[in-house]
């Protein structure tokens, strides 16, 4: 499973793609004529980012912004690098990239995406009050933001961590009721309950649900803590990889693959990237 994180989820990536695709300047047919090398690095880096190939995307985008810091496309590259860093659990790097994106005076959609990215950085680092404040500020500045469903869901999660259960449910209910076609709506419904009871862990079982594989042991421990808070039997183990040691976060073990698949389905509905093993 590629290195992943608890918050860089498929809906997040979809929203990121929407923000970037709204900026048509880097597609064929644009009126500008970029330098061929600049165009090739930027295009390939963004293409890889949008399909989830973060490892090869990052060096191309880093080289691009290092050599072309004043390019009108630098904001997009910083935004993508922030998303990659957040996905990999590298919160300080993600914050720096999102802030650099905002300093570049990006288009409104991209600015909104960077602001949401910063709010997610607060959440991922355990600064839930700061996350809540950032989300409320996003909604205050633009109540009709196209990221409202994601921001409200994140507000619900932050309130949960702050022990404000009723407030959290209110935000999840808004997502479920006001954004029925959004992928965040299904996750909000899952958080509101009503799902059947999940199978219990089986100490002698051999089936696990992998949730993340991170380069940081601290990030892995935080991911496991969040899983445990939601009632999942969470554990962290280490595994070698070509890029170095990875820390694998998983739920389980479960007695049968069917049990693990049921847990995986619920985790996926809650917004996690999952993989059942073995």
CATH (domain of 123): 1.25.40.10
Whether 21 shows a pLDDT value over 50: the answer reads no
Tell me, yes or no, whether 151 lies in a domain: yes
Count up the domains in the chain and report the number.
Answer: 2
Query: What is the per-residue pLDDT for 8?
Result: 35
Please indicate, yes or no, whether residues 90 and 160 belong to a single structural domain of this protein. yes
| 140 plus 268 within the same structural domain | no
The DSSP symbol for 201 reads P
Who wins on pLDDT, 229 or 210? 210
Structural domain ending residue among the three candidates 127, 159, 189: 189
Q: 26: pLDDT confidence band, cut at 50, 70 and 90?
A: very low
pLDDT tens digits along 186-224: 888 888 875 566 788 888 899 999 998 888 887 788 788
- What does the pLDDT read at residue 16? 52
pTM: 0.63
Instruction: Answer with the one of 189, 223, 246 that is the final residue of a domain.
Output: 189
> pLDDT value at position 38?
54
- pLDDT category of residue 32 using cuts at 50, 70 and 90: very low
Same domain, 172 and 270: no
Mean pLDDT throughout 52-67? 91
pLDDT at 109: 85
Residue 5: inside a domain, yes or no? no
| C-alpha to C-alpha distance for 9 and 93, rounded to whole angstroms | 18
Please, which residues have CB within 8 angstroms of residue 249's CB and are 6 or more apart in sequence? 6, 210, 211, 212, 213, 214, 220, 223, 224, 227, 234, 235, 236
Q: Are 161 and 222 contained in the same domain? A: no
Residue 1 has pLDDT above 70, yes or no: no
**How high is the pLDDT of residue 115?**
95
Cα 19 to Cα 111, 135, 145, 152, 235, distances in angstroms: 9, 18, 12, 18, 35
Same domain assignment for residues 215 and 270:
yes
Same domain assignment for residues 92 and 220: no
Where in the sequence is the domain holding 256, given as residue range(s)?
207-277
Q: Are residues 110 and 230 located together in one domain of the fold?
A: no
Q: What would the pLDDT profile of 100-153 be if each residue is shown by its tens digit?
A: 999 987 888 889 999 999 999 999 888 999 999 999 999 999 998 889 999 999
């Amino acid at each position: 499973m590629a290195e992943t994180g608890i918050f860089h989820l498929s809906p997040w990536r979809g929203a990121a793609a929407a923000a970037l695709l709204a900026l048509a300047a880097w597609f064929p047919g644009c009126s500008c004529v970029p330098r061929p090398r600049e165009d090739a690095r930027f295009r390939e880096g963004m293409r890889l980012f949008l399909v989830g190939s973060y490892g090869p995307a990052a060096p191309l985008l880093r080289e691009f912004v290092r050599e072309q810091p004043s390019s009108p496309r630098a904001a997009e590259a910083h935004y993508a690098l922030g998303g990659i860093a957040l996905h990999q659990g590298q919160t300080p790097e993600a914050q720096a990239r999102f802030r650099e994106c905002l300093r570049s005076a990006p288009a409104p959609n991209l600015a909104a995406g960077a602001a949401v990215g910063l709010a997610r950085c607060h959440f991922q680092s355990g600064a839930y009050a700061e996350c809540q404040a950032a989300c409320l500020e996003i909604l205050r500045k633009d109540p009709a933001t196209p990221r409202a469903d994601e921001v409200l869901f994140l507000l619900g999660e932050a309130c949960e961590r702050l022990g404000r259960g009723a407030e959290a449910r209110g935000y999840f209910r808004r997502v479920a009721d006001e954004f029925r076609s959004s992928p965040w709506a299904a996750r909000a419904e899952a958080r509101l309950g009503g799902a059947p009871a999940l199978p219990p862990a089986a100490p002698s079982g051999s089936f696990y649900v992998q949730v993340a594989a991170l380069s940081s042991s601290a990030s892995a421990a935080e991911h496991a803590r969040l899983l445990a808070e939601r009632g999942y039997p969470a554990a962290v183990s280490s595994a070698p990889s070509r890029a170095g040691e990875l820390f694998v976060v998983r739920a389980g073990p479960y007695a049968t693959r069917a049990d693990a698949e049921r847990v995986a389905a619920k985790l996926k509905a809650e917004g996690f990237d999952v993989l059942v093993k073995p």
